[in-house]
Amino acid sequence: MPTTALTQVRPGHGRYAPSPSGDLHLGNARTALLAWAYARLDGLAFLLRIEDLDRVQPGAAERQCEDLRLLALDWDEPPVRQSQRTAHYEAALGRLREGGMVYECYCSRRDIQDSPRAPHLPPGAYPGTCRDLDEHQRAAGRERLAASGRKPALRLRGEGASTIHDRFHGELTLPVDDVVLRRGDGVIAYNLAVVVDDGLQHVTQVVRADDLLSSAPRQAALARLLGYAVPEYVHVPLVLSEDGRRYAKRDGDLTVRALLAAGCPPEEIVGALAASIGVPGARTADEVLGRLDPAARLEVWWPHTGDSPLTSRV
């Protein structure tokens, strides 16, 4: 696809990495527009990556690509699919194992919830039950899982804390927890896959929604362990539904596809997205590019309220 840019392209890439679990909703589209615009304004090539390791709806990736094209967002290389990159993830996992940074975990979700340490940990944190087992205990754990047809998950042996810098949030330092790297069903976990992909694709700018901010320090720690450069992070505010929830693909009334079917032209959708990021009156992606201030702080957007021209469409 052709590159739209205001500045000369420099080494490195920005990217948008949707999950094909449903059609592109306004939250996805807003993040995609920002990721595309920030990359172009910073002189970066722009990539599209399909994160299809889990929760795939047939045809969703193709529909999402079509919707992005209708909004005039372009990318500079053919999209890649995570489902075709397993060898890269396994190679990275092997390097971490060689460095003693990986251990087997035999816990079920109930085991984790029932751990005596669980009430004293942050929500979702692993209590370290399997971290320092001896070989006899590990053999017993494997045998117990095998009896129920399961295999151990693989976890990172997290150590210390990790600091990242975000364009809008500044510095954030969090402990590096024992995150899952490969699930018990053999599927590579998101935290490992996204780090390996960003590293191998030379992604230097990661634009995504605020709800992923807390995962950035552990991903930066993984990148450092694997020898990858840590990208610039740009976490942007969410799009919320009428009742204040994070917009999700289940909110089908405000998907790009549903709005197009309701007679809403692409320039009207872009116009609403543009107004929500401080560029009122813009009707095309190129107009957004010409007027967007990449340093301007953004606000959470409720597309059902205020003067959004999309409100009457649904």
Which of 164, 192, 220 terminates a domain? The answer is 192
Q: What is the CATH number of the domain that holds 168?
A: 3.90.800.10
Domain region containing 119:
100-192
SS3 of 230, please?
coil
Q: Do both 127 and 163 map to the same domain? A: yes
Beta strands in 179-308 (DSSP E): 180-182, 203-209, 232-236
Position 2 in a domain? no
Provide the pLDDT confidence category of residue 2 given band limits of 50, 70 and 90. Answer: very low
Q: Report the number of distinct structural domains present in the chain.
A: 2
CA 302 to chain centre: 21
Q: Is the pLDDT of residue 149 over 60?
A: yes
Average pLDDT over the chain, rounded to an integer: 90
How many CA atoms lie within 13 Å of 271's alpha carbon, on the beta-carbon side?
A: 12
Q: Do both 61 and 130 map to the same domain? A: no
How far, in Å, CA of 185 to CA of 115, rounded?
Answer: 22
Question: Using alpha carbons only, how large is the chain's radius of gyration in Å?
Answer: 21
> In this prediction, what percent of the chain has a pLDDT beyond 70?
88
Sheet holding 232-236, edge to edge: 80-81, 44-50, 10-16, 203-209, 232-236, 161-166, 170-175
Q: What is the CATH number of the domain that holds 285?
A: 3.40.50.620
Provide the pLDDT confidence category of residue 115 given band limits of 50, 70 and 90. Answer: confident
How far, in Å, CA of 156 to CA of 166, rounded?
Answer: 24
Q: Do both 183 and 119 map to the same domain? A: yes
Lookup: tokens for 286: 């190129």
Q: What angle do CA 284, 288, 291 make, to 5 degrees?
A: 140
SS3 of 29, please?
helix
Which of 136, 166, 192 terminates a domain? The answer is 192
Residue 249 vs residue 157, higher pLDDT:
157
Lookup: tokens for 32: 């995609």
Coarse DSSP helix, strand, coil percentages of the chain, rounded to the nearest 5 percent: 40, 20, 45
How far, in Å, CA of 140 to CA of 129, rounded?
Answer: 14
How far, in Å, CA of 253 to CA of 314, rounded?
Answer: 6
How far, in Å, CA of 178 to CA of 218, rounded?
Answer: 9
Q: Do both 149 and 178 map to the same domain? A: yes
pTM of the entire predicted model: 0.90
Which of 192, 207, 225 terminates a domain? The answer is 192
